[in-house]
Amino acid sequence: MSEPLRVLWLQSGGCGGCSMSLLNAESPDLYRTLSLTGVELLWHPSLSAAGGSDFIALLQRIVDGNQPLDVLCLEGAVMRGPNGSGRFHQLAGTGRPMMDWLRVLAQRAGHVLAIGSCAAFGGVTAGGDNPGEACGLQHDGERPGGLLGGDWHATDGLPVINVAGCPVHPGWVTDTLAQLAAGTLGAEQLDELNRPRSYTDHLVHHGCVRNEFYEFKASAEQPAQLGCLMEHLGCLGTQAHADCNRRPWNGEGSCIRGGYACINCTAPGFEEPGHPFSETPKFAGIPIGLPTDMPKAWFVALASLSKAATPERLRINARADHIVAKPGKGTKP
């Protein structure tokens, strides 16, 4: 029997939302998924009974080389403040900043995973004036660096694997762990931001339930309406790398399905777009953020043609909060 993939999960500057999301893994559930993929959870703050001195002793065994560590997972941003001391977040009972523990543990781990956009890029925790000096493990926003430095690699050869999202989808975490356990996750399976391509080779736009409205540029003007959210309400689903609408939360949920625009939470800097999340910035009436791979001239031409060909049914339904005109019935309710 092969050795299990031994995983340590720590939390730093964040809300705990990625752990809450992880607990909603289903078909199979989290525990069965870990068992089937050969993952041994050494410790998790929400799932492990051990705490206090037992937990600190575990960390020390890892540092001393007496406990193998295959994967170090961090949820939440690294807190470097004040003035680079890390004392805004000290690991209870140790008197040492969490960022010091992370540096040492990362050197012992075969792989290091940044779970969620805070751990990957700083995320919401690094927003505003960032008084906590929050950053990601290997990125500070869009810039390589973070706590470990842009050139850092784990002992098995990969940089920090950024399982980005806010919160992260449970399937993105379990898929990544399963690939590591099977030895099938190499550099070629990571994108330019070191995110797993298993989910970032997709766009949120793929599988969107509003795609018919998008195709004909039949747009909603208020959040409760059924039309496409891109033109007026800030949706970035045509640019955001994730499979949220192909693999919904709990089998049926996603931001767009819930009536909210996609804010591209898997990308660095999503937390501060420079405008309200629910507004689409425009220049001369044209959205500034165009769909991925879509030249501006093509978009303008296709949008004009699409709007001219919009079925009356879609015009009516796009600005309603429920289906008014049925398919095949023209404009009649």
Contact 309, 217 (CB under 8 A): no
| Predicted pLDDT of residue 221 | 95
pLDDT value for 65: 96
In angstroms, rounded to a whole number, what is the distance separating the alpha carbons of residues 67 and 47? 19
Phi, psi of 91 (to 5 degrees): -75, 120
The answer to whether 122 touches 80, Cβ cutoff 8 Å, is no
In this structure, the number of other CB atoms found within 10 A of the CB of residue 46 comes to 12
Greatest extent of the chain over all pairs of C-alpha atoms, in Å: 74
Dihedral sign for Cα atoms in the order 116, 133, 11, 9: positive
The SS3 of residue 225 is coil
pLDDT score of 303: 80
pLDDT by 10s per residue, the chain, length 333 = 579 999 999 999 999 999 999 999 988 999 999 999 999 999 999 999 888 999 999 999 999 999 999 999 999 999 999 999 999 999 999 999 999 999 999 999 999 999 999 999 999 999 999 999 999 999 999 999 999 999 999 999 999 999 999 999 999 999 999 999 999 999 999 999 999 999 999 999 999 999 999 999 999 999 999 999 999 999 999 999 999 999 998 888 899 999 999 999 999 999 999 999 999 998 878 888 878 877 777 777 888 888 888 999 999 999 999 999 999 755 555
Among residues 12, 268, 240, the alpha carbon closest in space to that of 121 is found at 268
CA–CA dist 151, 145 (Å, integer): 8
**Rounded CA separation 33/31 (Å):** 5
Cα atoms found within 13 Å of the Cα of residue 15, Cβ hemisphere only? 13
The per-residue pLDDT for 128 is: 94
**Nearest Cα to 48, choosing from 99, 11, 98?**
11
Would the CA dihedral through 164, 119, 73, 256 be positive or negative? negative
Contact 208, 237 (CB under 8 A): yes
pLDDT reported for residue 1: 54
9 three-class SS: strand
Query: What Å distances lie between residue 167 and 26, 153, 255, CA to CA?
Result: 16, 25, 11
280 CB-near residues (< 8 Å, 6+ apart): 230, 231, 232, 233, 234, 235, 287, 288, 289
Domains of the chain listed by start with CATH number: 5-200 (3.40.50.700), 202-333 (4.10.480.10)
Stretch (H or E) spanning 34 = helix 30-37
Q: Distance between CA atoms of 84 and 91, rounded to whole angstroms? A: 16
